[in-house]
Structure 1
Amino acid sequence: MEMKTVHTVNLRGVLSESKRILKSNYWHFFALSLFFLPLSLSLVVSPTLHPQFSGNFYTADLSHKLPPNYQNVIIFRLLYILTVYLLALCATGTISYSTYRVLIGKPVNYLAALKSLTLSFFPLIATTILAQILLFFISITFLLFVGVIIMLGKSLGLVFDFNWTSFMWFSIVIGVMLILILIYFQMNWCLTLMVVVAESKWGFAALSRSWYLVRGIRSVSLSLLLYYSIGYGLLAWVSSRTVYDNQNSVFFTILGSFFLMMCLLAITTANAVLYMYGKAFHGELELEIAEGFDYINLSSDHQKVPLIVTVVEV
């Protein structure tokens, strides 16, 4: 049996579908989200340790010598950051894989999710590094462009009065413009890692594929990005501040890390759902059903029935 359902792509629909998926396979996704725990713990604890570290390492008094083991401290921190980063990619890869399996009506298995990393782990690393490099060069290019405009203005006789107040407002405006540019690229590249997992594409191919899938539903992508970025940022700040105010309380550290971990899980699942809506919006699901998929479950209820989804944007 085949039925045609019309869905409206919006933030509420993506969040509702991702919530339903997590509830239906809670312990499976909870186990995979543990890969996010070191990152969540770092976001909660690191700000509370910073003043102590800065007092010993970044000292304004040049007569004070650096700690004798500061090189080992730096190496340890770099290794820790690298480990946390790689574990977060493992979480993203396995959760994306399992969410995709649920959405196409396939069973999920913890060992199978871990096994999927053998194919997606290095492409995920390479694609993420490429995206960060591109964002870095985009930022540098924008700042150089601003510098060229200022120099060109001076050559034409324009006078720039860079007192403290003017410089502060000028920096704020430039910073806001740069943030908006980076948000625009993040909005279009939000499905990149999901493409790596689901379609075995990586690098520029994954970035361009994500850009294509988001086309037509960018308002939803932007809403999702802002929703979780603001929410996650506030949650991380409140958690770290609470731990600091309670003198590194173990209870608040565990509680804050747990909520941040679950938030990262929700973000990854929502991106996978948005990926499927993007494919539906571009009419790709009908073809996949014809090629042998049992069903694409994007319905709002709990009935798992074969369907073709037609998506419209508001």
Structure 2
Amino acid sequence: MATPSSPNLSLFSILSESKRILNAHSRHFLALCVLFLLPLSFSLVVYPTLLNLITHPPPDNTKVLLRSFLSFHHQEEDQPIFSDTQFLSILYSLFVLAFSILAIGSITFSVFHGFYGRPVKLISAIKSVFLSFLPLFVTVVITQVVFSMTVVAFGGFLLLVTKNFELYSNYFVIFGGVLLVLALVYLQVNWSLACVVVVVESSWGFEPLRRSASLMRGMRKLGLSLFLFFGVFGGILVWTCGAVSQLDIGDSEGWKSWGFVVQIVVTSTLLMLLLLYSAAANTVLYMYCKALHGELAVEIAEEFAREYVSLPFDDGKVPHVISVVVG
């Protein structure tokens, strides 16, 4: 079996294959977007504005409406509706985490089967995501704990060095911050396939992290390209939402205007598509990594014995035709 080498692969080839799979099952992925990604993207867009309305309440009529909706008792006119937004932030974080796991699980399952040309069904995707929800949750929590411990350990080391050796300076802190960011990006790239491994290989905990790092050998540049591509565009959308939330919408009642509503709808839709392509691209990258390490031949032999299989390797223009015959 001919396998691709990393120099022949590019960001464009990953995105092209992702687009091919999504277009081939457009109604299926549209349903998944409506179920999981649309609530997620809408909440990411609306939350900054909602938080701004809560912490900086508009005139009395709107304040009364928000109080009634959020079931809070009467407060002083010059005080915000919430004296503490931690509870709301916790609920929002749990909501984002839950729908992120549901979206990643269902999309990964569907793209994986779509890559092989298998039929993808909505019921099967929903069943699979509930089976993989707890393993995904545990793996995500472990990943975030490792990230947090890395930040704390690095911050403690930096504080210890600057305190004991009197090396404190703005340049030293900036240099340390750059090193920390590079370390976190390195971990993120190595573990970018962890969620795909959880769904496809039914593992959880530290094993998907180890497996992802193993698969990413020789493909880290491509993984970094995907991370930067979706990270930059996602950051722009999130920054746009934050900028809109800082507008003085309380006095001008801009949040009631059609322009504001259209902006929310457009931004939510773009973010939904970005998240969809991000999950699909990670799954396709997983398949390419397996092919690069020679693991895909065995699966093809088991799945498509005595059949011809065309896989979109290399530049996507001249796919390899693989004859698999099992005696």
RMSD (CA atoms): 2.8
- Distance change >3 Å, CA 226–CA 296, structure 1 → 2: same
* Aligned residue in 1 for 2:132: 120
The percentage of aligned residue pairs carrying the same residue is 39
* Aligned residue in 2 for 1:270: 281
User: What is the rounded CA distance, in whole Å, between the counterparts of 2:272 and 2:181 in structure 1?
Assistant: 25
Q: How many angstroms does 1:17 deviate by?
A: 0.8
User: What is the rounded CA distance, in whole Å, between the counterparts of 2:193 and 2:45 in structure 1?
Assistant: 27
* Aligned residue in 1 for 2:46: 45
Q: How many angstroms does 1:28 deviate by?
A: 1.0
* Aligned residue in 2 for 1:180: 182
User: What is the rounded CA distance, in whole Å, between the counterparts of 1:302 and 1:21 in structure 2?
Assistant: 17
User: What is the rounded CA distance, in whole Å, between the counterparts of 2:140 and 2:321 in structure 1?
Assistant: 36
Matched, 1:217 2:219: yes
Provide TM-score, normalisation by structure 1.
0.82
Provide TM-score, normalisation by structure 2.
0.79
Contact 1:18 1:266 (C-alpha < 8 Å) held by counterparts: yes
Q: Residues 92-126 of structure 1: CA distance to partner in whole angstroms, max 9, x if unpaired?
A: 00000000001122110011100102321100000
Contact 1:28 1:109 (C-alpha < 8 Å) held by counterparts: yes
Secondary structure (helix, strand or coil) at the match of 1:116 reads helix
User: What is the rounded CA distance, in whole Å, between the counterparts of 2:124 and 2:235 in structure 1?
Assistant: 32
Matched, 1:153 2:165: yes
User: What is the rounded CA distance, in whole Å, between the counterparts of 1:302 and 1:48 in structure 2?
Assistant: 48
Secondary structure (helix, strand or coil) at the match of 2:108 reads helix
The residue identity in structure 2 corresponding to 1:75 is F
Q: How many angstroms does 1:39 deviate by?
A: 2.5
* Aligned residue in 1 for 2:267: 256
Shifted more, 46-55 versus 275-284: the winner is 46-55
Q: Which of residues 93, 107, 125 in structure 1 aligns to 2:119?
A: 107
- Distance change >3 Å, CA 119–CA 301, structure 1 → 2: farther
User: What is the rounded CA distance, in whole Å, between the counterparts of 1:267 and 1:277 in structure 2?
Assistant: 15
Contact 1:243 1:253 (C-alpha < 8 Å) held by counterparts: no
- Distance change >3 Å, CA 304–CA 79, structure 1 → 2: farther
- Distance change >3 Å, CA 303–CA 173, structure 1 → 2: closer
The residue identity in structure 2 corresponding to 1:210 is S
Matched, 1:32 2:32: yes
The residue identity in structure 1 corresponding to 2:18 is S
The residue identity in structure 2 corresponding to 1:41 is F
Matched, 1:78 2:90: yes
- Distance change >3 Å, CA 252–CA 118, structure 1 → 2: same
User: What is the rounded CA distance, in whole Å, between the counterparts of 2:233 and 2:145 in structure 1?
Assistant: 26
- Distance change >3 Å, CA 243–CA 136, structure 1 → 2: closer
Shifted more, 227-236 versus 3-12: the winner is 3-12
Q: How many angstroms does 1:43 deviate by?
A: 2.5
Secondary structure (helix, strand or coil) at the match of 1:105 reads coil
Unaligned runs of 5+ in 1: 57-63, 155-159, 309-314
Q: How many angstroms does 1:292 deviate by?
A: 2.7
Unaligned runs of 5+ in 2: 58-76
User: What is the rounded CA distance, in whole Å, between the counterparts of 1:135 and 1:275 in structure 2?
Assistant: 22
Question: How many residue pairs were aligned?
Answer: 288
Q: Which of residues 153, 175, 178 in structure 2 aligns to 1:141?
A: 153
User: What is the rounded CA distance, in whole Å, between the counterparts of 1:198 and 1:112 in structure 2?
Assistant: 14
The residue identity in structure 2 corresponding to 1:43 is L
User: What is the rounded CA distance, in whole Å, between the counterparts of 1:296 and 1:131 in structure 2?
Assistant: 36
The residue identity in structure 2 corresponding to 1:187 is V
Secondary structure (helix, strand or coil) at the match of 2:311 reads coil
Q: How many angstroms does 1:302 deviate by?
A: 10
Give the structure, 1 or 2, with the largest relative contact order (CA under 8 Å, sep 6 or more): 1
Q: How many angstroms does 1:243 deviate by?
A: 7.0
User: What is the rounded CA distance, in whole Å, between the counterparts of 1:54 and 1:226 in structure 2?
Assistant: 33
- Distance change >3 Å, CA 173–CA 303, structure 1 → 2: closer
Q: How many angstroms does 1:271 deviate by?
A: 0.1
User: What is the rounded CA distance, in whole Å, between the counterparts of 1:54 and 1:171 in structure 2?
Assistant: 32
